[in-house]
Chains A and B, each alone.
Chain A
């Protein structure tokens, strides 16, 4: 809003009040994280300022203690498996969905997206009952399948988004020039949807990597993931190592999401779609 030179004093007062309120809301949004993260460098295990000194011992504990390392390894292993599985399934489905001839598109889309909509506690409990019957409780495969269910909607959405405005005459032209379907896919379709696939894959990775509620229900002690270790820590004994772990998670997710944003912009630029 451009400052009107003819604004009355009351209006100016309101404008400053508005800015003040907004400043406080932004402080409320960003403050907690910015306040808590530095405490992971505090040399004494208390969560208060002023800090007594700088130390990396909580990070040392995070990267060396067996409990945290097992969690980290499990999380990475599970998240990578989930990423592979959900990227393949999600990309195929998105390719089908964005063809002009797809039957019952609305119904199928809402089924494929439904894991995003259902409250996660319902998913966790329903999958827990199901796994109890089929014997998948406390297994890696069970947790990977459950996380894949939660992660695929992100892949479907991001890949479908890159296919909006996809010019189907490109694939037809390639086919008309004699390219077999596989070649058409690798030479024409894949390069165009690749940014969306990578974004979807990163989101799928993060979904699994950050997920805790389903893991609490269906994973056993052997599949302790990083968020599970953190959750237990917050419940039982709050140590600065938890904040160190949180810091690592935040840095990690910000790096990934920044990559996704860059990819999205690049893809839009490449396809000639402009904002506004």
Chain B
């Protein structure tokens, strides 16, 4: 305010209109407010948004072949892809293989080709070694002599596609498609098509856990919302207590409980419900039980907070107008809880899609969700293109659902206000 007054006075002789002056002050204020957020904004952009954007980019970007086999890529740019390429392309290939041998990059080339042509890695490596001994052409016969791999049109199709820095191969593979021998897109053979199952499983487990948390959470939320506050606060603490302990600790508790000689099996056997230990862990049962336990408070709390706002007078009015207790509940109370149900269920569903820790510790090999495969391609198979593609799909799904969630909850808050 003080600065503004001084400004106006100081600039009086130049006759700057008040409107412009006010705009300037406004802009300066905006800038000052923004400057406070700049350090964190930059920090998040550099350490979080940029790495994630790069991961998304890596899902479609791969210049391994273009970088490591530049001559072949150039020689193949005019190739029509029908017959085997001409002597010139083979000469370029021989030169690239020699170079790869000298630079020790044959392994990387082999790995990249192996992704689309399984089994090619060792042949590329050995060809590179033997090509190093070739001194003069013609190279076509010599290379085919070294390894029949180079007489296959498929490998040339891979090399030609490698001439572009962008490839949909990883995304295609994530949904169980690949390039066929003539560069057309075909479905993967059923024995190696795993991702459709993985996505279905991820969706299935998430929907199952969401449904169970709703079934268990709704009655409890209703009780908590309708009990006198002294009792309900106490019960609320019991609901929030597990929510306050870390995911790892809760998962560990389930591993201990569900073991074949663990407490749950002990109790079931003492009660003569089962005669020998049931398989409760490292399978679907354990995964769903542990995930339900972890997600239950997150489904319950939004439902509870919506129920708290519903006046008991509505149901009372319905009852006094002659509605039975169930009719009154179903027609008058339940519809008003739907925003809470939608918010709680959507939140749980979104969080379930990305579960890694719990299935990894409590589930078996056939219960692993998409996150496990992202981790596996990163750490074990070292195929970062695949990890990025699967990650891009999971992230896109999550963000879309969050957008819906935001719309939904935002609209509800308007209504409640």
Query: Which residues of A are in contact with B by a Cβ distance under 8 Å?
Result: 1, 7-8, 11, 14, 18-19, 21-22, 25-26, 28-30, 32-33, 35-36, 39, 46-49, 89-90, 92-93, 95-97, 99, 101-103, 108, 111-112, 114-115, 117-130, 145-146, 148-149, 152, 156, 172, 175-176, 206, 210, 212-213, 217, 227, 230-231, 234-235, 238, 242-243, 246, 249-250, 253-254, 257
Contact = CB atoms under 8 A, between A and B. Distances in A.
Interface stretch (B26-34, B82-90, B99-107, B167-175): B26-34
Given A28-B293, A30-B241, A121 B49 contact: no
Main secondary structure of the interface of B (DSSP, over half): helix
Contacts of A149: 43-44, 47-48
Contacts of B354: 119-122
Contact of B37 (A112, A122, A242): A112
Contacts of A212: 247-248, 357
B129 interface: no
Given A114-B49, A122-B394, A242-B252, A33 B30 contact: no
9 contacts: A36-B257, A48-B266, A96-B37, A102-B34, A125-B387, A126-B48, A152-B44, A217-B379, A231-B361
Given A123-B52, A149-B44, A249-B246, A25 B220 contact: yes
Contacts of B44: 111-112, 114-115, 149, 152
Given A1-B226, A234-B361, A243-B252, A29 B49 contact: no
Contacts of B235: 26
B244 A121 contact: no
B73 interface: no
Contacts of B409: none
Contact of A210 (B222, B247, B256, B391): B247
B296 A29 contact: yes
Given A22-B219, A48-B263, A93-B40, 5 more contacts: A18-B222, A21-B219, A33-B242, A48-B266, A115-B48
- What 10 A-B pairs come out closest when comparing CB atoms? A119-B354, A96-B36, A210-B246, A130-B51, A96-B37, A99-B33, A93-B40, A121-B371, A126-B51, A1-B226
Contacts, number: 250
Given A25-B217, A119-B354, A122-B391, A1 B227 contact: yes
Contact of B36 (A95, A124, A146, A206): A95
Interface residues of B, number: 83
B374 interface: yes
A198 B45 CA distance: 25
Given A26-B220, A89-B43, A93-B39, A33 B253 contact: yes
Contacts of A119: 353-354, 356, 371, 394-395, 398
A227 B241 contact: no
Given A39-B256, A121-B374, A213-B356, A30 B40 contact: no
Contact of A29 (B32, B40, B242, B391): B242
Given A242-B252, A246-B253, A253 B244 contact: yes
Interface in B236-263: 238-239, 241-242, 244-257, 259, 261-263
Given A89-B39, A117-B402, A47 B248 contact: no
> Which of A21, A111, A119, A175 is most buried by chain B, counting CB atoms within 10 A of its CB?
A119
Interface in B201-246: 216-217, 219-220, 222-223, 226-227, 235, 238-239, 241-242, 244-246
Interface in B368-417: 371, 374-375, 378-379, 384, 387-388, 391, 394-395, 398-399, 402
Contacts of B402: 117
